Amino acid sequence: MPKELQSDALPVNHGRMTTALVFGAAGGLGRAITTALQAADVRVLGVAREESVLTGLEATSADLADEPQVAAACLWAAREAGAIDVLVFAAGRMANAPLAETSAAALQQLWADNVLSAHLVTRHAAPLLTPTSHRLFLGAYVEKLAFPRLGAYAGAKAALDAWARVLMREERGLKTTLLRLPAVDTPLWQHAPFPLPKGALTPAAVGDEVVRCWREEKVGVVDLA
């Protein structure tokens, strides 16, 4: 972690430890963001499809596309921490298939994993937020995703982008960031129709950027070049 992010000046709460809730904590980016937050002395609660893969982390399991499971995960976080200072949405899934060969069920599931999940998390985690809480969503450069075999994913990321922009305008009182990422070297790319581009970022660089956005209160659409 860069030295400036280890500063003692990180935001702290009155009388309780600063707490983050990371959705998708078992993914390549979720893990790196968790590590970066912990290095900044933040208590991290994690949510993953399989909590057993999150050894050493306070965690619970949930399919984020399933509303009752998201509600239960948020209730768990409320019981564990009371309030959440940093909410990170780091879940999502890529698919590799031509649109003509993508069934309705496959499209619905992919969009649910990428978009509905963000919506459910936002709604059910809302009671855990304080006026100073910061929400961060991971997005993509949607205009650069229009490749063959990537249509379902590109559509989902475009929807998430527009959804997040509207959320930010509707809820101006809350700190919200859509952190748009270029290619990052994570397991997501195992499902890509082409190899990971040269010069892809490391997950650790994204973790550091998330901490920077929170610490410096960078809100709105933030492009990580």
Ligand X SMILES: NC(=O)c1ccc[n+]([C@@H]2O[C@H](COP(=O)([O-])OP(=O)(O)OC[C@H]3O[C@@H](n4cnc5c(N)ncnc54)[C@H](OP(=O)(O)O)[C@@H]3O)[C@@H](O)[C@H]2O)c1
Which residues here bind ligand X, judged by CB under 6 A? 24, 26-30, 48-49, 63-65, 90-93, 113-114, 117, 138, 140, 181, 183-184, 186-188
Looking at beta carbons only, is 84 or 203 nearer to ligand X? 203
Place of tokens 């280890």: 6
Looking at beta carbons only, is 92 or 155 nearer to ligand X? 92
DSSP 33: H
- Using left for φ > 0, alpha for ψ between -120 and 50, and beta otherwise, residue 194 falls in beta
Least separation in angstroms between CB 168 and ligand X: 18
Looking at beta carbons only, is 42 or 90 nearer to ligand X? 90
Least separation in angstroms between CB 122 and ligand X: 14
Least separation in angstroms between CB 162 and ligand X: 15
Looking at beta carbons only, is 152 or 184 nearer to ligand X? 184
Half-sphere exposure of 84 (CA within 13 A, CB side): 31
CB 74 within 8 Å of CB 87: no
Backbone angles phi, psi at 145, to 5 degrees: -105, 0
Least separation in angstroms between CB 152 and ligand X: 12
The amino acid at 213: C
CB 43 within 8 Å of CB 19: yes
Residue 42: is it exposed, middle or buried by C-beta count within 10 angstroms (0-12/13-18/19+)?
buried
Looking at beta carbons only, is 27 or 151 nearer to ligand X? 27
Least separation in angstroms between CB 139 and ligand X: 6
